Amino acid sequence: MTANATTITRWNAAEGEQWSRHQARYDRMLAPYGGELLAAAALRRGERVLDVGCGSGATTVAAARAVGGTGRATGLDVSEPLLAAARRRAEATAGAEAAEFVTADAQTFPFVPAGYDVLVSRFGLMLFDDPPAAFVNLARALRTGGRLAFVTWRDAAANGWFTIPLEVLHAGLGTLPSAPEGPCAFSLADPARVVDLVEGAGFERVRLEAVPQPVTVGDDPDDAVAFYDDAHGDALRAILDAPALEVIRDRLTTELARWHDAEGVRVPAAAWLVTAQKR
């Protein structure tokens, strides 16, 4: 079976298409984490940057602008819908000429050894079938002394964007639908596991910093519920009738109203910012 086949299929079908539809919303949600990531990466003019799991390209384009015309920023992802959005973004952004995008699986892609100075990732390293193999492969892409910086979600309990709708659904159903197969967004939540993976791949000076930053899931509760419905509504409609689904929508609207302020519906979220250097 092809490595990461389930993830690749999902991100080239409904999941990738949903992220593409909501590109601006996801940009807004994740921008604080992208800012923390690039600050930690401390990019310099002329450097070669690899952005793994680049999605619609926000961090790749920002990296390309930071390294300038003599450097380059390569965004890597498995999702064609998101890479199409990334290429459009780069074409529309002044100073992003150094950005390029490659459709590939970072776990198995034959990188040119030592081809990059810096590897960054904004929530792009959690879904590998074989994380040790993936991190070793990524380390090969970096020169000796090259820098690694990535953000990855902390445990689910710290992330209201995940737990709030899940708790509402559990209260309404008394149970939960089966989770999708394969690794999930919280697969790197355990700091000890992260250190083992990173050091085992050939990195040193591994540091984890807790980054609590709320994420804005909508302009108001109705907008946020519509967003969740677009992501998960079809799955729920397969198991619920219309009245039951409406009850859950009403409960979720009420719960999200607790987090609504002048800036939107901002729910709790937290990640690890991980930095290291290749031995």
Positive or negative, the CA dihedral 82, 123, 265, 176 is positive
Predicted TM-score (pTM) of the model is 0.95
Which residues have a Cβ under 8 Å from the Cβ of 136 and sit 6 or more positions away?
Answer: 200, 201, 202
User: Which residues are 25's β-sheet partners?
Assistant: none
Q: Compute the C-alpha angle 113/107/25, nearest 5°.
A: 110
Give the helix ranges, DSSP H, for 154-220: 160-173, 191-200
Which residues have a Cβ under 8 Å from the Cβ of 88 and sit 6 or more positions away?
Answer: none
Residue the block writes with tokens 């937290």: 270
The candidate with the shortest Cα–Cα distance to 56, out of 39, 35, 32, 31, is 31
Residue the block writes with tokens 């901002």: 266
Topology adopted by domain 5-156+181-216+268-278: Rossmann fold (3.40.50)
Residue count (the chain): 279
Q: DSSP letter string over 98-110?
A: TEEEEE--TTT--
pLDDT at 34: 98
Q: HSE on the CB side for 2, CA within 13 Å? A: 11
Q: DSSP letter string over 131-164?
A: HHHHHHHHHHHEEEEEEEEEEEE--GGG-HHHHH
Domain range summary for the chain, segments of one domain joined by + = 5-156+181-216+268-278
Strands (E), the chain: 48-52, 72-77, 99-103, 116-122, 142-153, 203-212, 215-218, 260-261, 264-267, 270-278
Q: Would you tell me how many other CB atoms lie within 10 Å of the CB of residue 206?
A: 17
Structure tokens at 76: 């890597």
Residue pLDDT tens, the chain, 279 long: 689 999 999 999 999 999 999 999 999 999 999 999 999 999 999 999 999 999 999 999 999 999 988 999 999 999 999 999 999 999 999 999 999 999 999 999 999 999 999 999 999 999 999 999 999 999 999 999 999 999 999 999 999 999 999 999 888 877 666 556 668 999 999 999 999 999 999 999 999 999 999 999 999 999 999 999 999 988 888 888 999 899 999 999 999 999 999 999 999 999 999 999 999
The candidate with the shortest Cα–Cα distance to 226, out of 207, 203, 210, 249, is 249
SS3 of the chain: helix, strand, coil, percent, to 5: 45, 25, 30
Maximum Cα–Cα distance for the chain, whole Å?
60
CB 183 within 8 A of CB 130: no
User: Which residues are 119's β-sheet partners?
Assistant: 50, 148
